[in-house]
Amino acid sequence: MSKFNEIINSDIPVLIDFSAHWCQPCKMMPPILKEVKKQLGDKIRILKIDVDKNPSIAQKHQIQSVPTMMVLKMEILYFANRELCKLSRLYKCYSNLLKLNFCFKNTDVISSIKNP
């Protein structure tokens, strides 16, 4: 879990795909995620988290169904989608994330989820 925390504390946005091996809709995500990575390259990290193998991470992020997609940067949640996610929605989320410019100070409190 310490490696996971290190990754989500990064200044690079992290797209997390919470899934399970038994979830049929989850099996549709890899081609979409590959396309996101192809288009955005090093501007984003993509993690696939199996909720059955990583229950503490799933619990920490209140994952109640799969697939669930989240985009975090420096542990701040900018996007959460609890259903199969279309490529266009992920790109829109990333574009909105860039518009924020990440000019937050450590004392700033962000309590709302930013959804495109």
Three-state DSSP class for residue 9: coil
23 belongs to the catalytic site: yes
Cα separation of 12 and 74, whole Å?
8
26 belongs to the catalytic site: yes
Nearest to 114 by CA among 85, 84, 83, 73: 73
DSSP assignment letter at 55: H
Q: At 71, which helix (H) or strand (E)? A: strand 68-73
Active site residues: 23, 26
